């Protein structure tokens, strides 16, 4: 494989990784603010959003790039393969270290309209049962904040 071909493959892989990481998210005009009273709070753990696959791909591409700078001919090809494999293993391990669950709260809020809403979010000190709160946002982006 030539360096030019490997560069193109690396660029395509990077574009795919970045496209996979993109999220549509909520637009500011979609945000809803509701009011209510906390009825129940349960401690829970929230899984982190770190993806070991992204670390492995980025590590592999980095190793491939560094390996391409070493030697020439067959030696360069071997260095690129070893660099890609080593980078993949190293990148996955680094990403795995950050894959720890977060302490969180499962909060049940009775809104002013009478609907019971459940929100899971990182622990927010100061929230208590019976407290008046706002529910900001919706879906995974919803958060309970003191009123």
User: In this model, does residue 31 exceed pLDDT 70?
Assistant: no
Q: What is the DSSP letter of 80?
A: H
Q: How many CB atoms lie within 10 A of CB 87?
A: 23
**26's tokens:** 């909520």
Q: How far is it, in rounded angstroms, from Cα 56 to Cα 98?
A: 13
Q: What is the DSSP letter of 76?
A: H
**CA atoms lying within 13 Å on the CB side of residue 99:** 12
At residue 127 the predicted structure's pLDDT band, cuts being 50, 70 and 90, is very high
pLDDT of residue 90: 84
Among 2.40.50, 1.10.3470, 3.40.1710, 2.120.10, what is the CATH number of 31-47+102-147? 2.40.50
User: pLDDT tens, 68-111?
Assistant: 888 778 888 888 888 888 888 888 877 777 667 778 999 999 99
Q: How far is it, in rounded angstroms, from Cα 16 to Cα 57?
A: 10
Contact 132, 147 (CB under 8 A): yes
Which pTM was predicted? 0.49
């Amino acid at each position: 494989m030539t360096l030019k071909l490997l560069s193109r493959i690396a660029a395509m892989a990077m574009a795919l990784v970045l496209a996979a990481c993109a999220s549509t998210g909520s637009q500011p005009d979609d945000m809803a603010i509701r009011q209510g009273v906390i009825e129940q709070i349960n401690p829970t753990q929230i899984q982190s959003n770190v993806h070991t696959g992204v670390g492995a791909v980025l590590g592999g591409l980095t190793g491939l790039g560094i390996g391409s700078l070493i030697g020439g001919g067959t030696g360069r090809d071997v260095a690129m393969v070893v660099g890609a494999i080593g980078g993949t293993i190293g990148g996955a391990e680094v990403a795995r270290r950050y894959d720890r669950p977060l302490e969180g709260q499962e909060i049940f809020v009775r809104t002013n309209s009478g609907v019971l809403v459940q929100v899971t979010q990182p622990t927010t000190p100061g929230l208590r049962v019976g407290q008046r709160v706002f529910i900001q946002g919706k879906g995974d982006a919803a958060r309970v904040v003191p009123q």
